[in-house]
Amino acid sequence: MDSSEKIYSGKTKDLYLLPNANILLVFKDDVTGTDGVIDPGANTVIGQVAGKGRKSLAMTDYFFKRLHAAQISTHLVNVDLEQGTMEVRRAEPLGKDISGAGGLEFVCRTRPWGSFSRRYQQYIRDPQQSLDYLVEITVKDDERGDPLINDDTIVALGLVSPTHLAEAKDITRRVCRIVEADLSSKGLMLIDMKIEIGLVEGKVVVIDEISADAMRVMDDAGNVLEHSMVHETLIG
Amino acid sequence: MDSSEKIYSGKTKDLYLLPNANILLVFKDDVTGTDGVIDPGANTVIGQVAGKGRKSLAMTDYFFKRLHAAQISTHLVNVDLEQGTMEVRRAEPLGKDISGAGGLEFVCRTRPWGSFSRRYQQYIRDPQQSLDYLVEITVKDDERGDPLINDDTIVALGLVSPTHLAEAKDITRRVCRIVEADLSSKGLMLIDMKIEIGLVEGKVVVIDEISADAMRVMDDAGNVLEHSMVHETLIG
């Protein structure tokens, strides 16, 4: 990394610009949480868990390759599991904020759970119902708790074109089905997951990572699994 | 009202079932607010303002007749301004909650303002930009602050069919344009407004009321007007 320039230090990853204009993602062991409890959805780093970065990287590598096999593009170039790094094409995240940071997060739900169930509890007739790969989109904004945004607003604010938005939602649902099928083959059920999407040379691709941190998984006894358990079951 | 049965007592209206199976809405002088300050968006009644009920009724009568002229249906049968009552067809509000109450509220925005500006402040490049009659939909739920809901979720939860939802959004935009044009002819600008929509014999119609309480209006000096000022300018 001698000739690389650090361009961003995130909560769980550092980014370096490589001489070939690609980006090197360095996965860190930092974990986020609230009041000392680990919560990947939280916005504050509360400590480190040894080996956590490499696990997230291995799982991202595992799933990104599954996506490629299904003709879904990602920004992945190559992974160095030893070093805990992933080289990626430089992507423009969909829906950047006015400072050039932020972006949209694409949530896919197979059934009501968590914040969704709390938000719409008066309107959910059957808590067991299928949500048929429902996509919800939020804007990254730590201070305001990543607010939900609807499709029309995304277009009205000029964040994403209608065409790219439709493609991104379609990709989100396809990724969700692939991850769900994979977990299902191991006796686990996907409840919901979150991905990020960006443009590489005008093409809509999956970016960042797909790790246990960004999915909620249940075993056949109905228990929601710890993220480390999901890692272990999937990639050992 | 001797032979009528009171079927619901709302924050600003009481509902009676009439012998002909229609509903009689009795507009009350109750106002909602927070910490003693009147706010039509709030969910607690904090007092009365004499004449407020009749004003809301007169304005609803005024706008519902404008909608009828534009071939947009409402549930209105007739208005008795003296009595402060409105007879309406019995309608099924779109998107009722599990208790049979609640429903969806359709917000139409011509520009960023209020909760919208706060929610997406990191993503609004130009605070003066046109939002081109953007529709946002919320579910009525006092306890949870009427959360935003996206189109896909409305359909996934079985609250409204895709066809009725598309019609309701189209009606919302058309109503917004009519109200905007009306205000504009009096030198006022509509920023945003909120309506409710329901089904009468399977047909999508505007229900409840269209009053100054459910719209944000600006004068040409850029001041947001008190609701009573909007009433006065429009209907005296």
Which tens digits make up the pLDDT trace of B25-81? Answer: 999 998 888 888 887 777 788 888 888 899 999 999 999 999 999 999 999 999 999
For chain A, the average pLDDT equals 93
Which tens digits make up the pLDDT trace of A94-125? Answer: 999 999 999 999 999 999 999 999 999 999 99
Q: What is the mean pLDDT of each run of 10 residues along chain B (236 residues)?
A: 79 93 94 81 84 92 97 98 96 95 96 96 96 98 95 98 98 98 95 97 96 92 89 84
Give B 111-130 residues with CB within 8 A of chain A.
118-125, 129
CA A214 to chain B, closest CA, distance in angstroms equals 20
Mean pLDDT in residue range A74-92: 96
Distance CA A9, CA A15 (A): 6
CA-nearest residue to A160 within chain B is B123
Distance CA A183, CA A218 (A): 9
Mean pLDDT in residue range A44-52: 87
Q: What local confidence, expressed as pLDDT, does residue A60 receive?
A: 96
Q: What local confidence, expressed as pLDDT, does residue B2 receive?
A: 54
Indicate the SS3 state at residue B100. coil
Interhelix angle A52-69/A162-184, rounded to 10 degrees, is: 110
Task: Spell out the domains of chain A, with CATH numbers in brackets.
Answer: 5-234 (3.30.470.20)
Q: Report residue A3's pLDDT band, with 50, 70 and 90 as the boundaries.
A: low
Distance CA A153, CA B146 (A): 18
Q: What local confidence, expressed as pLDDT, does residue B3 receive?
A: 65
Contacts of B150 in chain A (CB under 8 A): 136-137, 148, 150-151
ipTM of the complex: 0.93
Nearest to A125 among B122, B152, B158 (CB): B158
B91 phi/psi in degrees, rounded to 5:
-120, 155
CA A83 to chain B, closest CA, distance in angstroms equals 35
Nearest to A123 among B97, B131, B132 (CB): B97
Whether residue A15 is predicted with pLDDT greater than 90 in this model: the reply is yes
Mean pLDDT in residue range A55-76: 96
Mean pLDDT in residue range A178-192: 96
User: Residues with Cβ < 8 Å from A36, sequence gap 6 or more?
Assistant: A46
Place of tokens 């991104």: A168
In this complex, do B148 and A144 lie within 8 Å of one another by their Cβ atoms?
no
Q: pTM of the full predicted structure?
A: 0.94
Which tens digits make up the pLDDT trace of A118-163? Answer: 999 999 999 999 999 999 999 999 999 999 999 999 999 999 999 9
Whether residue A1 is predicted with pLDDT greater than 70 in this model: the reply is no
Whether residue A2 is predicted with pLDDT greater than 80 in this model: the reply is no
In this complex, do A149 and B120 lie within 8 Å of one another by their Cβ atoms?
yes
CA dist A78 → A27, A65, A100, B50, B88 (Å): 14, 10, 26, 72, 66
Q: Is B118 exposed, middle or buried (0-12, 13-18, 19+ CB in 10 A)?
A: exposed
Residues B23 and B85 sit within 8 Å (Cβ to Cβ):
no
DSSP A161: -
Q: What local confidence, expressed as pLDDT, does residue B42 receive?
A: 77
Query: Does B157 lie at the interface with A, CB-CB under 8 angstroms?
Result: yes
Q: Report residue A37's pLDDT band, with 50, 70 and 90 as the boundaries.
A: confident
Query: Does A198 lie at the interface with B, CB-CB under 8 angstroms?
Result: no
Place of tokens 């309480």: B213
Query: Does B139 lie at the interface with A, CB-CB under 8 angstroms?
Result: yes
Q: What local confidence, expressed as pLDDT, does residue A234 receive?
A: 84
